């Protein structure tokens, strides 16, 4: 399992040598934009991938491997979240975005608008527009220092014709982990309008002590019956390039439609990715817990540094995910990420890509060795001074 000193010792030169998108897209800059970790992956995942190569398990995804994935995911969901899922209802998909696209295409009325709370994970809005869908953005609102769903605005968006709500939990980019009561309140609005929810729970395993991930579909019989849940080992075990995620179909109608119309989406799923997912869910929890412990330290370093040196930066430490969401609106920068690339040599995600509600903000990936995080914070402080 990785120790703190092992993770601290990973250098920028080593990371650039791999290379990754994080460390190659902006040569010479510190990459902290894309949601990837600088820590490699769990030993169990590495072993599974080596075994796949050694035994030639590189063909199309076989049924028995799907069955192992279903057992592995449902075991993990039970242990980690106390969520009991019928293994048959866990389907392989290549990634969460493909699952989202198939959900919009096949499980919502043709041409119906989609409700997107903002700030939102960047690709959702452009993808919906590519699919010919209007996007009804509903900004999250601040309550007691935390971002929460605006229930009245959600109600109005359903009343305006929205049929599907995109519910990301833990939330990217704010890092919120929504509580059971909050989810139940959202569910009441969805039920009132006979709507459906796409629950994007890709960050579900990445929740800090003191918080608990509650799968939206587990809240009640009603949420189970109006939800399609997408999740993946890709964020928590840092394997997004392996193209394997899971769709959990607790809704009988959705399961039926999926079976009849979405089988080609399953066909895109990569066999090595599914093998890696099995290893992650079955044997990767110790590694994950060590990494979460390290990330927890990183989020504290970030919060302490900002409080001491950059009090004008608005920041609430994430409750889950390894993303920090920084409110730089008081600096009056039109494009803060571009400005920080030029003046601080760090590459962050500009909040405007998360919708109007994200303007003036940046998203920063905390999953980096602490010496690199400290360098990021020093550069941020010097540039903003």
Ligand X SMILES: Cc1ncc(COP(=O)(O)O)c(C=O)c1O
Instruction: Quote the CA–CA distance of 360 and 351 in Å, as a whole number.
Output: 6
Of 72, 125, 245, 274, the one binding ligand X (CB under 6 A) is 245
Instruction: Quote the CA–CA distance of 366 and 49 in Å, as a whole number.
Output: 26
Nearest partner of 113 among 139, 140, 132, judged by Cα? 132
Instruction: Quote the CA–CA distance of 117 and 173 in Å, as a whole number.
Output: 11
Nearer to ligand X, 49 or 98 (CB): 98
Measured between its terminal Cα atoms, the distance across the chain in Å is 39
Nearer to ligand X, 245 or 364 (CB): 245
**Span from 19-27, 95-103, 139-147, 181-189 in contact with ligand X (CB under 6 A):** 95-103
171, 178 Cβ separation under 8 angstroms: yes
Binding mask 199-238 for ligand X (x = CB under 6 A): -x-x-----------------------------x-x----
Nearest partner of 369 among 2, 1, 11, 3, judged by Cα? 11
The answer to whether residue 290 forms part of the interface with ligand X (CB under 6 A) is no
**Span from 38-46, 57-65, 90-98, 145-153 in contact with ligand X (CB under 6 A):** 90-98
Q: Which residue's CB atom is positioned nearest to ligand X?
A: 95
Half-sphere exposure of 197 (CA within 13 A, CB side): 31
Nearest partner of 249 among 88, 96, 98, judged by Cα? 88
Nearer to ligand X, 354 or 377 (CB): 354
Give Cα separations from 290 to 66, 144, 146, 293, 384 (angstroms).
Answer: 28, 30, 27, 5, 33
The answer to whether residue 168 forms part of the interface with ligand X (CB under 6 A) is yes
The answer to whether residue 172 forms part of the interface with ligand X (CB under 6 A) is yes
Cβ at position 276, least distance to ligand X in Å: 13
Nearest partner of 172 among 371, 351, 294, 330, judged by Cα? 351
The answer to whether residue 246 forms part of the interface with ligand X (CB under 6 A) is no
Cβ at position 34, least distance to ligand X in Å: 8
Cβ at position 235, least distance to ligand X in Å: 6
The answer to whether residue 121 forms part of the interface with ligand X (CB under 6 A) is yes
The answer to whether residue 367 forms part of the interface with ligand X (CB under 6 A) is no
The answer to whether residue 240 forms part of the interface with ligand X (CB under 6 A) is yes
379, 62 Cβ separation under 8 angstroms: no
**Span from 89-97, 294-302, 334-342, 371-379 in contact with ligand X (CB under 6 A):** 89-97
DSSP string for 129-169: HHTT--EEEEE-EEETTEEE--HHHHHHHHHTT--EEEEES
Binding mask 23-52 for ligand X (x = CB under 6 A): ------------x-----------------
**Span from 43-51, 94-102, 135-143, 181-189 in contact with ligand X (CB under 6 A):** 94-102
Q: How many residues bind ligand X (CB under 6 A)?
A: 13
Instruction: Quote the CA–CA distance of 58 and 49 in Å, as a whole number.
Output: 10
Residue ranges that bind ligand X, judged by CB under 6 A: 35, 95-97, 121, 168, 172, 200, 202, 232, 234, 240, 245
């Amino acid at each position: 399992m990785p120790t703190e000193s092992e993770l601290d010792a990973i250098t920028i030169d080593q990371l650039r040598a791999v290379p990754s998108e994080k460390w190659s897209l902006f040569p010479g800059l510190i990459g902290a934009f894309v949601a990837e970790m600088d820590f490699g992956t769990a030993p169990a995942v590495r072993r599974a991938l080596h075994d796949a190569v050694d035994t030639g398990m590189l063909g199309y995804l076989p049924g028995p491997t799907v069955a192992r994935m279903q057992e592995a995911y449902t075991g993990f969901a039970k242990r980690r979240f106390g969520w009991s899922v019928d293994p048959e209802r866990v389907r392989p998909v290549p990634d969460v975005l493909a699952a989202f696209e198939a959900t919009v295409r096949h499980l919502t009325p043709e041409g119906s608008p989609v409700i997107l709370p903002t700030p939102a994970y960047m690709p959702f809005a452009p993808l919906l527009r590519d699919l010919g869908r209007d996007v009804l953005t509903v900004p999250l609102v601040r309550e007691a220092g935390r971002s929460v769903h605006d229930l009245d605005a959600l109600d109005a968006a359903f009343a305006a014709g929205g049929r599907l709500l995109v519910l990301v939990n833990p939330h990217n980019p704010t890092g919120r982990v929504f509580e059971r009561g909050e989810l139940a309140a959202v569910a009441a609005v969805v039920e009132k309008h006979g709507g459906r929810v796409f629950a994007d729970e890709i960050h579900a395993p990445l929740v800090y002590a003191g918080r608990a991930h509650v799968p939206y579909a587990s809240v009640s019989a009603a949420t189970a019956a109006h939800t399609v849940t997408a999740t993946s080992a890709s964020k928590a075990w840092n394997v997004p390039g392996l193209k394997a995620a899971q769709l959990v179909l607790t809704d009988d109608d959705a399961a039926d439609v999926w079976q009849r119309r979405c089988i080609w989406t399953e066909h895109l799923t990569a066999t090595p990715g599914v093998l890696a997912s099995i290893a992650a869910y079955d044997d990767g929890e110790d590694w994950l817990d060590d990494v979460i412990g390290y990330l927890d330290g990183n989020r504290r370093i970030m919060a302490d540094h900002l409080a001491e040196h950059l009090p004008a930066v608005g920041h609430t430490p994430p409750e889950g995910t390894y993303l920090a969401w920084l409110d730089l609106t008081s600096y009056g920068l039109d494009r803060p990420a571009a400005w920080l690339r030029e003046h601080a040599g760090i590459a962050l995600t500009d909040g405007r890509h998360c919708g109007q509600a994200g303007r003036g903000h940046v998203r920063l990936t905390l999953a980096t060795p602490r010496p690199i995080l400290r360098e990021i914070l020093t550069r941020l402080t010097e540039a903003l001074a």
